[in-house]
Amino acid sequence: MKDDMAKKLWGGRFSGNTLSEVDAFNASVGFDYKLWAYDIQGSLAHVRMLARQKILKRAEAQKIEKGLKSIAKDIEHGRFRWRIDQEDVHLNIESELIRRIGPVGGKLHTARSRNDQVALDLRLYCRHQIHRLQTQLAGFQKSLVKLANRFIKTVMPGYTHLQRAQPILLSHHLLAYFEMAERDKERLRDLSKRVETLPLGAGALAGTTFSIDRHLVAKEVGFDRVASNSLDAVSDRDFAVELISDCALIMAHLSRLAEELILWSSLEFNFVQLPEGFCTGSSMMPQKMNPDVLELIRGKTGRVFGHLTGILTVLKGLPLAYNKDLQEDKEPLFDAVETTQTCLHLATELLEQTSFKEENLRRATHEGFVLATDLADYLASKGLPFREAHHVVGRIVRYAQARRLSLEELNLSILKQFSKKIGPDVKKWLNLQCSIDRRKSYGGTATAQVKLQIRRAEKILSRA
């Protein structure tokens, strides 16, 4: 046969050609070429096992191994030509191997299907990207700790409902994002255990008649476990869903930080000075400095969320085992991972060059009655039930608000009109620094507690 079907590695069953539109629609090499290094890594482990099990002669295995390494070198240096007529990364590499070393190259696929092959490639890809994400998250955390150390004395209003609530340290606020990133790292660590499960040897769906050693292959690629069910091995994409889900949570955390920095950089807040290199101007308004990087991080969060919905939708109705629908797992996975990595990198670099306006942050704590809770706590410490104290302070706030005064500006005689329990010692409670340092409960905003949080964070990072 001289037609195109004769050139396709699976073409023996067919007497005619597929339509060119079908070839284009069916092909995945336009995106799955990114798996080439993992594909060759898995093939090298597979061929070594075949030789050790005497399924292939040692000389044949050595020839295949040499051919695969030469292909890898050419791909790495941009000398490899990816062909759409070979559909995917696997067939492109295998057909080139046969072209280079002859028919013996066709023995590489002994005891293997593209179904278990691609499942291994994806798992190897995910393992690598998990490690990259963990490293990037640690870098992000280091930038937060650096800022927390630098601004350890900076006071700011803490917010609930975007309303000023209680005074806190800026460092305390920044370290909240350290904790989010630490949970992100924990989730990725936990996912690694499930990713490192070998599917190779499952064949198309039912295993293989050859006397293979799957545990040997697992050891070769550094996996701890071997998939126990061949049907599940080739159709499982839970690990890809989990990785996209983890990326979605990382992006949610970055988006929250981006939103706050966008708000804080506005004149209405004026808490932060963003580095110019991460902002752009307006084509019409010459005064503008727009926080485009932060806005794009916030916007790209929806993109990653969409990928999570997309892959779940692909999987939700698939019968066992492999179906071509699973080709649709790669683009959302690749894009979610790459988008998250880019956003993490830019967020980290931006934080390294961000400066906070300490005087403006402190000034903001003098508005909004942020010491109201302290006054209620003071009354409770004098024996007044907290709910009654809360009511008393609410009336004091209303009185001060009507006269455009702060709680600190009310003299003792006025305060005593609302409660006889208020004495001269109340002034120690209506003090920003005292308010902060009284919150000594573990994890609180007291300076001593925040310093403990920083030391804990530094210890975590030293183990990374």
Could you give the residue numbers annotated as active site?
161, 282
Q: Collapsing DSSP states into helix, strand and coil, what is residue 213?
A: coil
337: closest CA among 250, 253, 254, 257? 250
> What span, in angstroms and rounded, lies between the C-alpha atoms of 271 and 442?
27
> What span, in angstroms and rounded, lies between the C-alpha atoms of 215 and 220?
9
Q: Angle formed by the axes of helices 89-101 and 36-52, to 10°?
A: 60
> What span, in angstroms and rounded, lies between the C-alpha atoms of 75 and 353?
38
Element (H, E) at 193: helix 170-195
Bond into 321 cis (ω within 30): yes
DSSP-H helix ranges across 77-224: 89-101, 114-150, 170-195, 214-221
How crowded is the C-beta side of 195, counted as CA atoms within 13 Å? 25
In contact, 432 and 421? CB cutoff 8 Å:
no
In contact, 23 and 72? CB cutoff 8 Å:
no
> What span, in angstroms and rounded, lies between the C-alpha atoms of 243 and 240?
5
> What span, in angstroms and rounded, lies between the C-alpha atoms of 257 and 245?
19
N-term to C-term CA, the chain: 58
In contact, 348 and 143? CB cutoff 8 Å:
yes
Long-range CB pairs of 79-84 (<8 Å, 24+ gap) are: 82/29, 82/33, 83/29, 84/23, 84/24, 84/27, 84/29, 84/30
In contact, 71 and 40? CB cutoff 8 Å:
yes
| Backbone Cα Rg of the chain | 31
In contact, 164 and 367? CB cutoff 8 Å:
yes
199: closest CA among 314, 131, 325, 112? 112
In terms of phi and psi (left: phi > 0; alpha: psi -120 to 50; beta: otherwise), the region of 78 is left
Task: Output DSSP code: residue 81.
Answer: -
